[in-house]
Amino acid sequence: MQDFKDKVAVITGGSSGVGRSLAFALGAEGANIVVGDVDQAAMAQLRSDLAAQQIEALVEHCDVTSADSLTALADAAEEAFGGIDLVFANAGISAGESGAMWEYSPKDWQWCFNVNLWGVINTISVFMPRLVAANREAHFVVTGSGNGALLVYPDQPIYTASKAAVHAITENLHYQVVAAQSPVKVSALFPGPHVVDTGLFNSGRVRPQELKKAVEGNASGISSVADMKKMAAEWGIELQTTHPDEVAQMALAGLRRDAFWLLETTAETEQKIRDRAQMILDRTTPVANMVGA
């Protein structure tokens, strides 16, 4: 897709971080923006910030764990703007797990899988039939994570597992649209190349009441990128970060090339991916990787 002007872009989880940056980047190109999110305060802020930039937008409450909620978002998008050209299945959370996985609350697993995995499945189920039926150029972009899709970092097993599944689904979705000879293109977006400075590490702000744990807060003790930086510094690592606007620009550049991989890496990450492939081929026992190391 060369030109985003007058296109309609639906972004789940678009009121913060990567999704919010996508909304502004696409809006600046003349696209009409539809955001579905559950964070009412951030949504109100987004509405006024988009209006200040004269970006046409619809910002709706939409919980990706509910297919009905996504159907309402799709209907609202079509009613407001007539059709849908780009869908970003982007909403995601980090459950803030830490320590031995056999001691986690099942609620951590449920919440993360509900949003990260079922959110993507529901978004595919609701939006893909509409994109395929329209039978014209369109993009379906899934926000995954290198942590799960490409590497297995040791400290967030729930998140990593959810993103491994998300990537398998995204790659299969790509194979299926190709097999169906649909003009819809599928892309896998990997925010990075460094840890992206977003609200992901404070996801507890949108944790539903029924999935709250007896003990509040993140077991990891990390609730922001600043916390991560501090912890990394204690291990002698200077943690690099990426601004979500850079991720949005990388994504748009990739969409212009119809790229499947919306992925930017560092030399270190590339080496880790190679080492991982080699480890599998050599049947070497895994050794834990560190984020940023």
Q: Which position among 123, 203, 218, 220 is part of the footprint of ligand NAD (CB under 6 A)?
A: 203
Known catalytic membership, residue 153? no
Q: How far is the CB of 282 from ligand NAD (least distance, A)?
A: 28
Q: Does 143 bind ligand NAD (CB under 6 A)?
A: yes
CA atoms within 13 A on the CB side of 137: 9
Residue 199 makes CB contacts below 8 A (sequence gap 6+) with: 16, 17, 42, 205
4, 7, 11, 15: which one contacts ligand NAD (CB under 6 A)? 15
Using rule CB under 6 A, residue 142 touches ligand NAD: no
CA distances to 31, 134, 174, 208 from 84, rounded to whole Å, are 11, 9, 18, 29
Decide whether 150 or 184 has the Cβ nearer to ligand NAD: 150
Using CB under 6 A, which of 1, 29, 39, 118 touches ligand NAD? 39
Q: How far is the CB of 207 from ligand NAD (least distance, A)?
A: 8
Q: How many CA atoms lie within 13 A of 99 on its CB side?
A: 9
Q: Which stretch binds ligand NAD (CB under 6 A): 3-11, 31-39, 210-218, 280-288?
A: 31-39
Nearer to ligand NAD, 27 or 199 (CB): 199
**Binding flag, residue 37, ligand NAD (CB under 6 A):** yes
| Secondary structure class of 255 (helix, strand, coil) | helix
Q: Is 156 helix (H, G, I), strand (E, B) or coil?
A: coil
- DSSP state at residue 285: P
Contact status, residue 147 vs residue 263, Cβ threshold 8 Å = no
What is the C-alpha to C-alpha distance for residues 211 and 108, in angstroms, rounded to an integer? 8
Which residues share a beta bridge with 60?
Answer: 36
Under rule CB under 6 A, residue 160 binds ligand NAD: no
If binding is defined by CB under 6 A, does position 42 make contact with ligand NAD? yes
Alpha-carbon torsion (72, 74, 77, 83), positive or negative: negative
The residues that touch ligand NAD, with contacts defined as CB under 6 A, are 12-13, 15-19, 36-39, 42, 62-65, 90-93, 115, 143, 145, 191, 195-196, 198-200, 203, 206, 244
Give the catalytic positions in this structure: 159
